[in-house]
Structure 1
Amino acid sequence: MENTTKTPTQPIENLQEKCESLESKVAELTQLLKWYEEQFRLSQHKRFGSSSEKTDPDQLELSLFNEAEVEAAPNLEGTPTESISYTRRKKRGQREAMLEDLPMETVEYRLSEDEQVCSCCGGDLHEMSTEVRQEIQVIPAQVKVKRHVRYVYSCRHCEREETQTPIVTAP
């Protein structure tokens, strides 16, 4: 009768070879990791470490150039000093006051009669408000204020009876 508990030697040898190759690979990668860590440490030291260029403390003392100040004001301790402090309010409406004397040109932007129709109900639009923008126009040897007025329209019928009121502004 044969012994069935006998283990084959071939798979054990394969496993031992595989284990040895993996151990050598781990050793190689560990050595590579140490090399990279050292390179990183050296670059950090080079970037953030102390510099080899040291300054001489005597070099920072520039007493040679202070001769003019010393001779010009020999005794400043004896003179009294006064301190002045105040608060100032910002002036309002200064631009409007400056623009009063300039000639003014007004450009009005209105919708035509055909465009003054409500997009919801077809009713007539009325002037609701205006948007005014002023700009300063400088022409050589001539300065004037140009006022742009855009009319804004809405429908009275929709204001009273609808939940949504269309508002149209002239281009």
Structure 2
Amino acid sequence: MNRPGEPTVEALMARIAALQAQNRQLTERVVKLEEELALARLHRFAPKSEKHIDRLFNEAEQAADEDAADNEDGGVVVLPDTGLPASEGATGKKRGRKALPENLPRERVEYDLPDDQKACPCCRHQMHRMGEAVTEQLHIEVKAKVLQNVRFKYACRHCDRTGINTPVVTAPMPAQPLP
């Protein structure tokens, strides 16, 4: 019994089917937009260099992985000897310059604070030497040697004990031609 103004069952079923089709289309559109967003983020924030070892595509490794998946007997895969030195895995590159060779002779040049600057700026107590900052630079005259620039650091034991503020003062060094 249909009342006047109410839709029939067939009309309701057609409306439900239309809404379900629209829902599927919107779901597909959301998935597509999420993929586009992920791709845009990858393009924007991904490393620009393709030199990373973990990003290289190696067909031989992929084939070995597939063979290992096929032969799950626990056997060890023996790689042929190429004559190249063995790599130690993907280790990150260290930043900065390489250390100077240990066999070069070293000359120690020390920079210290004058006695009037060894007083604590907070409490005026005498500061003690707490360490040193050592930098090395290659110095070439007739023969190469390494100059070790040692800058003594001072701190106040009184301020350190009382916990107010422990100032650390490092001896200045003359300006270097190359930083």
TM-score computed with the length of structure 1 as normaliser? 0.44
Q: Determine which structure has more spread, i.e. the larger CA radius of gyration.
A: 1
